[in-house]
Copies of this chain bind each other. A is one copy, B any other.
Amino acid sequence: MTKNTNVRISLPAVCFVWQIAMIILFGVFVRYNEESDTHWIEHRRRKNISTNLENDFYYRYPSFQDVHVMIFVGFGFLMTFLKRYSFGGVGFNFLIAAFGIQWALLMQGWFHHLDSADWKIKIGIENLINADFCVAGCLIAYGACLGKVSPVQLMVLTLFGVTLFAVEEYIILELLHVKDAGGSMVIHTFGAYYGLTISWILYRPMLSLSKHVQGSVYHSDVFAMIGTLFLWMFWPSFNSAIADHGDGQHRAVINTYLALASSVLTTFAISSLLRKHGKLDMIHIQNATLAGGVAMGTASEFMITPYGSLIVGFCTGIVSTLGYQFLTPFMEKTLKIQDTCGIHNLHAMPGVIGGIVGAVTAASASESVYGKEGLINTFDFKDAITNRTVSIQGGYQAAGLCVAIAFGLAGGALVGGILKLPIWGDPADGNCFDDDVYWEVPEDEVEDEDIASRHPNMNHAGSMADVYQRSNV
């Protein structure tokens, strides 16, 4: 029944090997770009740039920091909801995100930013944002596996996840010229199907043995709300962070803000409708309220109109909440997919909806709405795709969605197979969702001597205090 969960050799080994590899590869490949290099002043003169403010840093830094908060506090705290897995939720999220952003800078750099003159990757603020985006895919996948995998498995999941992401992103954005500023397809759909497939392969038939620690407690639910709210508040930054300067970023913020607001109301409505006495379920509030942001990822830059954004949020809030109620148990029982955080409801379905919304919105774009220049700028109808029409663009958008799903499924199958090897130190079925396996967990609440010292006249209750203390360990 018990498994060897000792990671004392494997975890340090993986961390060291991969970090050293990063240093070597960065040494060979990565340099500052012209905006973060001390030659910027010469570059400015050459390009006749009148002010330091035109450095992309000032366009994107505030959005970058918001995205950074979403990755580390947003995803991290959202996963603290389990009563005894808060350390693992926020801690392993921290570990794999910190590794993933480094590997993403390299992978995305090789595909998108390799300077053909000297074969170096030149990085700036936009690369940092993209690295954060890339790692988001893996954190979504972690959500399906939360509590059931070892940190070593997570490092492997992230290594492959980032790699697959970079390839998929290259195909969708560069080869197919699909627009996906907020990553409904590239990030959410891919990440979700990647994680779900892994979870399906790692199916644990006896997981009910860990049922006693699978739920939340009162305060762990409040911690999770920190994650929810920081994700919710900063999602407009997520969807606008790499959108076009000017109206592109501006419009993406408005659309996302509205879709998210709308999701909240339908989530509360459906959650209340589903339970006796109309009592709300924290799982719904923590998750489905975010569905509008996911679904607005592709179309956020488009002229979807404010009420269009509200409609998207309206529908995804409903779909996502119903998913938590009906689909997750169904998937676990029938499809053998154990999805701890319900990423199918928060990322897979809203991501797919977002991709479809993007395709439809693109296909129905018109010069009368966008203006001649606006249409070209929004869809980048220049260079190789100068003559592409909006309906063809719509088709490519749909194709991009399929690529994302395909990469998620195939990649998940591959990586799931690797993670099934019995060498990674994962917990036994009865040992899941328990920080005690990988963390030094403090004894909870006041200790025996503490009680005794404060209540010296409690001798008569000695044995009881003893029970009390142990029962809290």
Contacts and interface: CB of A to CB of B under 8 A. Distances in A.
Contacts of A9: 278
Contacts of A22: 262, 310
Interface stretch (A186-194, A215-223, A404-412, A415-423): A215-223
Given A15-B265, A19-B265, A26-B306, A246 B128 contact: no
B61 A280 contact: no
Nearest to A469: B471
B212 A450 contact: yes
Interface string A207-239: 000001101111101110110011011101100
B38 A5 contact: no
A342 to B, nearest CB: 15
Contacts of A77: 226
A23 B62 CA distance: 30
24 contacts: A7-B272, A15-B269, A19-B265, A19-B269, A22-B310, A26-B310, A35-B246, A36-B251, A36-B254, A39-B247, A55-B247, A65-B233, A72-B229, A76-B229, A83-B446, A99-B265, A102-B310, A124-B250, A222-B223, A279-B440, A281-B440, A282-B442, A455-B471, A464-B467
A20 to B, nearest CB: 8
Contact of A446 (B18, B54, B55, B471): B471
A24 B308 CA distance: 10
Chief secondary structure at chain A's binding surface: helix
Size category of the binding interface on chain A: 35 or more
Contacts of A62: 61-62, 65
Given A95-B268, A250-B124, A438 B37 contact: no
In order of increasing CB-CB distance, the 6 nearest A-B pairs are: A38-B374, A8-B278, A98-B264, A40-B247, A15-B269, A52-B246
